[in-house]
Amino acid sequence: MTENQNTDLENDELYEHHKVIATDGQLPLRVDKFLMNFIENASRNKLQQAAKAGNILVNDIAVKANHKVKPKDVVRIVLAYPPAENLLVAEKIPIDIIYEDETIMVVNKPAGMVVHPGHGNSSGTLVNGLIYHVENLPTNSNQRPGLVHRIDKDTSGLLVVAKTEFAMAHLSKQFFDRKTNRKYLALAWGNIEEDEGTIEGNIGRSFKNRLQMDVFPDGEYGKHAVTHFKVLERLTYVTLVECKLETGRTHQIRAHFKHIGHTLFNDERYRGNDILKGTTYTKYKQFVENCFKILPRQALHAKTLGFRHPITKEMMQFDSEIPEDMSKCLDKWKTYTINSKD
């Protein structure tokens, strides 16, 4: 029935993209029924919700579930991953909810909280708390109910959660089409000379350290990644930047800034906990170590999140305060910078 089937699994964004090309002998068939022949574990309802959200395209045009597929039609769909088999345990975990309605929820994740269960983190995650707070969340892959994107354990900030299948499909498409607005605050080592710029280069798992991601500028390995940045403040040996994500790869900001020689402050995995500049001075070394104690994680916060509401279609924008640990660290660097000029 197909001439070619190509599935690109976008694990970083928690959804998948299927492409199916109908054969020359394809008889007219509803697109939802057509896709059920090729997508494992895809229910009719899930496919219909995807169509309703505009996630099914035939020859690059969004269609309804009852659209008839014809020979040589190119059918594409963005779909949440099917659920995993293992059961999750709901846990009464405090969640900082800054917005909620019947279809979506926006939460402010603290640093140190894992977003979803994984190896070594079977409980205490944001997802464990979400399924306690909301029953019957639509499920993504690897037991990730409600999630259409994620942030690292030691990164703080905003996440949007889908409470219905339709919201999951609609939001997934926005992330896939890069129509969301995500801005982060990051404190990076060194003086970034450009006032603003763009870091572009494929990101993939490092060949030397499987816990790290590397940048591959030639594009032969990894996934396309683009980070736009703007310098907000230069603080002697570190620089505060605003980062706007065009893509959403694993460790994207962390890997991109290491690639340009400005590893994030106290990012241990990428050696941002090495004290740079002025290390011959005992007082400076003590100052930096004190900053590390105040901010015992990478200096990265998902501050702004914007997207279009799945139901009202209103463009929604949320902003979060800089968490206390990062704010105190910045204050110390500001004081140090003022004193160093005296």
Alpha-carbon gap, residue 261 to 238, rounded angstroms: 12
Name every residue whose Cβ is closer than 8 Å to that of residue 158 and which is 6 or more positions away in sequence.
Answer: 98, 106, 107, 108, 109, 302, 303, 304, 305, 318, 320
Q: Is residue 255 part of a domain?
A: yes
- Residue finishing a domain among 176, 199, 231: 176
Residues 127 and 191 in one domain: no
Alpha-carbon gap, residue 85 to 98, rounded angstroms: 31
223-253 pLDDT, tens digit each: 999 999 999 999 999 999 999 999 989 999 9
Indicate the residue type of 259: H
Summarize the confidence of residues 268-297 as an average pLDDT.
90
Q: For the beta carbon of residue 294, count every other beta carbon within 10 angstroms.
A: 17
Residues 292 and 237 in one domain: yes
209 neighbors 296 (Cβ within 8 angstroms): no
Residues 103 and 166 in one domain: yes
| Residue 78: per-residue pLDDT | 80
Q: Is residue 86 part of a domain?
A: no
206 neighbors 241 (Cβ within 8 angstroms): no
Summarize the confidence of residues 88-99 as an average pLDDT.
92
Alpha-carbon gap, residue 243 to 184, rounded angstroms: 5
Residues 64 and 114 in one domain: no
Q: Is residue 49 part of a domain?
A: yes
Q: How much is the mean pLDDT over the chain?
A: 87
Q: Is residue 316 part of a domain?
A: yes
Summarize the confidence of residues 123-152 as an average pLDDT.
82
| Residue 53: per-residue pLDDT | 82
- Residue finishing a domain among 116, 142, 176: 176
Residues 193 and 325 in one domain: yes
| Residue 9: per-residue pLDDT | 29
| Residue 100: per-residue pLDDT | 96
Alpha-carbon gap, residue 295 to 303, rounded angstroms: 17
Q: Is residue 88 part of a domain?
A: no
Q: Exposed/middle/buried for 281, CB within 10 Å: 0-12, 13-18, 19+?
A: exposed
- Residue finishing a domain among 176, 197, 214: 176
Domain that holds residue 110: 97-176
Alpha-carbon gap, residue 52 to 83, rounded angstroms: 21
Residues 171 and 186 in one domain: no
CATH number at residue 113: 3.30.2350.10
User: Is 152 noted as a catalytic residue in this protein?
Assistant: yes
Q: Is residue 199 part of a domain?
A: yes
When pLDDT is cut at 50, 70 and 90, the band that residue 140 belongs to is: low
As a whole-number percent, the residues of the chain with pLDDT over 90 amount to 57
| Residue 210: per-residue pLDDT | 72
CATH number at residue 64: 3.10.290.10
Q: Is the pLDDT of residue 141 over 50?
A: no
Residues 289 and 200 in one domain: yes
Residues 194 and 275 in one domain: yes
Structure tokens at 55: 């996630």
- Overall domain count for the chain: 3
217 neighbors 202 (Cβ within 8 angstroms): yes
| Residue 87: per-residue pLDDT | 60
- Is residue 213 helix, strand or coil? strand
* pLDDT top residue among 3 and 316: 316
| H-state helical runs in 181-296 | 252-259, 282-294
| Residue 1: per-residue pLDDT | 43
Residues 188 and 257 in one domain: yes
Q: Is residue 282 part of a domain?
A: yes
Residues 104 and 150 in one domain: yes
Extract the runs of DSSP E, i.e. beta strands, from 40-180: 56-58, 61-62, 68-69, 74-80, 97-100, 104-109, 156-162
Please pick, among 12, 32, 152, 325, the residue that the annotation labels catalytic.
Answer: 152
Structure tokens at 122: 């079977």
189-217 pLDDT, tens digit each: 999 999 999 999 999 988 877 788 999 98
Residues 155 and 188 in one domain: no
When pLDDT is cut at 50, 70 and 90, the band that residue 126 belongs to is: very high
Enter the pTM of the model.
0.76
Q: Is residue 130 part of a domain?
A: yes
Residues 198 and 169 in one domain: no
